[in-house]
């Protein structure tokens, strides 16, 4: 009986899905209009040379705000699940400190860390000009911190600072969005209200570049926090009296 109901419901759902998709013609004449609009509008009106960034941050900026929120929720959920297993006093894990990485790795990490951070910053600052952007740049920055974390076991990341960076970056995103309501010509959320500048320059695209810098900071702080949380957890069952 149960199976019959499930099959019937699936058939009804499938029928309606099919009837919707059948009405979309093959050959994509209808999609071509949207594509042409994006390709035409992003260099001309927005002055953003990277069309992908123009779509992600400007045309579908609200969607990106949602994605950033999803990432924030994921890191919060991970933190709250793993919080009980963390060492509370200093945030350091004796197990982790016992493993010593070699002198070469430690020295190399010291040299490579600024270069990785520079690359990450370059990627998210040039998000509206070259491939890449806030998410990618943030991930690169987090790998730099991961390198430091695995080579210096006693390196301590202050989670309050991470939280503040995250919160400020997220607030900047939302404030720019609200600024679109107030200052822009068309009064839409996330509408551009700054001067567009010239195409292919670093300062161009209005709010797109600023939003991607905020996203870069936010993603970098979040992924660094996740990695640090994962590295500071104790192995379950090792210290039964603390749980």
Q: Where on the chain is the footprint of another protein (CB under 8 A)?
A: 101-102, 104-105, 108, 111-112, 115
Q: Measure the CA–CA gap between 49 and 36, rounded to whole angstroms.
A: 15
Min CB(103)–another protein separation in Å: 10
Return the exposure string of 34-56: e unless at least 16 CB atoms fall within 10 Å of the residue's CB, then b.
eeeebeebbeeebbbbbbebbbb
Q: Measure the CA–CA gap between 227 and 94, rounded to whole angstroms.
A: 17
Min CB(140)–another protein separation in Å: 12
Measured from the CB atom, the residue of 86 and 96 that comes closer to another protein is 96
Measured from the CB atom, the residue of 147 and 227 that comes closer to another protein is 147
Query: Position of tokens 């609009």?
Result: 37
Measured from the CB atom, the residue of 150 and 168 that comes closer to another protein is 150
Give the other-Cβ count within 10 Å of 222's Cβ. 26
Q: Measure the CA–CA gap between 211 and 204, rounded to whole angstroms.
A: 12
Min CB(230)–another protein separation in Å: 19
Min CB(190)–another protein separation in Å: 33
């Amino acid at each position: 009986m149960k199976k019959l109901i499930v099959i019937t419901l699936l058939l009804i759902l499938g029928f309606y899905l099919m009837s919707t998709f059948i009405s979309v013609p093959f050959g994509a004449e209808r999609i071509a209009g949207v594509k042409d609009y994006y390709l035409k509008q992003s260099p001309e009106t927005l002055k953003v040379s990277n069309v992908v960034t123009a779509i992600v941050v400007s045309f579908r900026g609200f969607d990106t705000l949602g994605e950033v929120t999803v990432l924030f929720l994921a890191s919060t959920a991970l933190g709250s699940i793993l919080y009980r297993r963390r060492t509370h006093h200093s945030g350091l894990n004796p197990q982790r400190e016992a493993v010593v990485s070699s002198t070469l790795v430690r020295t190399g990490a010291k040299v490579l860390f600024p270069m990785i951070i520079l690359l990450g910053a370059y990627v998210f600052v040039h998000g509206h000009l070259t491939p890449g952007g806030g998410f990618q740049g943030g991930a690169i920055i987090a790998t730099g911190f991961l390198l430091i974390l695995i080579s210096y076991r006693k390196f301590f990341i202050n989670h309050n600072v991470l939280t503040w960076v995250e919160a400020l970056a997220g607030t900047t995103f939302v404030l720019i969005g609200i600024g679109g309501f107030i200052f822009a010509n068309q009064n839409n959320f996330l509408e551009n209200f700054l001067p567009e500048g010239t195409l292919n320059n670093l300062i161009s695209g209005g709010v797109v570049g600023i939003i991607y810098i905020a996203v870069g900071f936010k993603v970098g702080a979040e992924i660094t926090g996740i990695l640090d949380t994962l590295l500071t957890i104790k192995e379950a069952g090792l210290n039964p009296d603390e749980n």
